[in-house]
Each structure stands twice: as structure tokens, then as C-alpha cells.
């Protein structure tokens, strides 16, 4: 049972434009959400996170939006740069629980 879903396996965006990566979850008990970025042959690296008490968190070019009623979050990258080309994983957890549930990833390609 996939509790975190990334329905778009890939996304291509022109350099300088906005990239929007989407993530849906089914478990209403999740209250903390993270995005990880993964380059080929490397482990995932933490990018940005958001707690369920907020609906937006911003860090430079990266902004994560959380819509709890829709059980949906999105990652906005603006402006997109070629170095952003990677696989992006959405992850979710529940305070007090041990597991971090990952989505299947979205491969972002930023075209120069």
C-alpha cells in the first residue's frame, strides 16, 4: 500500500522557468513532510521540509506548499537551473512513529 504517491515519474522544464513537483498522501496521521533530491549514483540528500502546522515553507529558490485537506503537497523551484536536474522524492512521517514513507520519485530535467 503506497501511502505517499508521486504520480508524475518525470518532468521537463526550461531553464529559468518554474518547476512544480507534486505529491499526494493517504494517511491523515502524517504531520511532517520532506523532500529529498537524488543525483545518479548518490544517496538522497535532504532539500526542504514542512510541518503540518504550516502551509508553506520557503528556502531560497525552493518552496514547499502543504494542503492538508487535499492531502497534497508540492515543491516549487524557481527559477529552475540545469543543476536541479535530479530525482526528487517526497517523504512523510508521523510524530512518534519511526518510519519515513517515501514516494516513488519524480525525475526532473531542466533544459538549458
Partner 1 sequence: EAGVAQSPRYKIIEKRQSVAFWCNPISGHATLYWYQQILGQGPKLLIQFQNNGVVDDSQLPKDRFSAERLKGVDSTLKIQPAKLEDSAVYLCASSFSGTNTGELFFGEGSRLTVL
Q: What is the CA radius of gyration of the chain?
A: 13
> Does the protein bind partner 1 through residue 100 (CB under 8 A)?
yes
Candidates 57, 81, 94, 109; binder of partner 1 (CB under 8 A) is: 94
By beta-carbon proximity to partner 1, the closer residue of 27 and 94 is 94
Closest CA to 24 of 13, 33, 16: 33
Q: Shortest gap between Cβ of 11 and partner 1 (angstroms)?
A: 16
> Does the protein bind partner 1 through residue 89 (CB under 8 A)?
yes
Q: Within 24-43, which residues bind partner 1 (CB under 8 A)?
A: 32, 34, 36, 41-43
For residue 79, is the peptide bond before it cis, meaning its omega torsion is within 30 degrees of 0? yes
Q: Shortest gap between Cβ of 82 and partner 1 (angstroms)?
A: 22
By beta-carbon proximity to partner 1, the closer residue of 69 and 98 is 98
Pairing of strands 45-51, 32-38: antiparallel
In which residue are the cell numbers 525552493 written?
Answer: 62
Which residues does 96 contact at the CB level (< 8 Å), separation at least 6?
Answer: none
Amino acid at each position: 500500500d503506497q501511502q505517499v504517491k508521486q504520480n508524475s515519474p518525470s518532468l521537463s522544464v526550461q531553464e529559468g522557468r518554474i518547476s512544480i513537483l507534486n505529491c499526494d498522501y493517504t494517511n491523515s496521521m502524517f504531520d511532517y513532510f520532506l523532500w529529498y533530491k537524488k543525483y545518479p549514483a548518490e544517496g538522497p540528500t535532504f532539500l526542504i521540509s514542512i510541518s503540518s502546522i504550516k502551509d508553506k515553507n520557503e528556502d531560497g529558490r525552493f518552496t514547499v506548499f502543504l494542503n492538508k485537506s487535499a492531502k497534497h503537497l508540492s515543491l516549487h523551484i524557481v527559477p529552475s537551473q540545469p543543476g536541479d536536474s535530479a530525482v526528487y522524492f517526497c517523504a512523510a512521517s508521523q510524530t512518534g512513529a519511526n518510519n519515513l514513507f517515501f514516494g516513488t520519485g519524480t525525475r526532473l530535467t531542466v533544459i538549458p
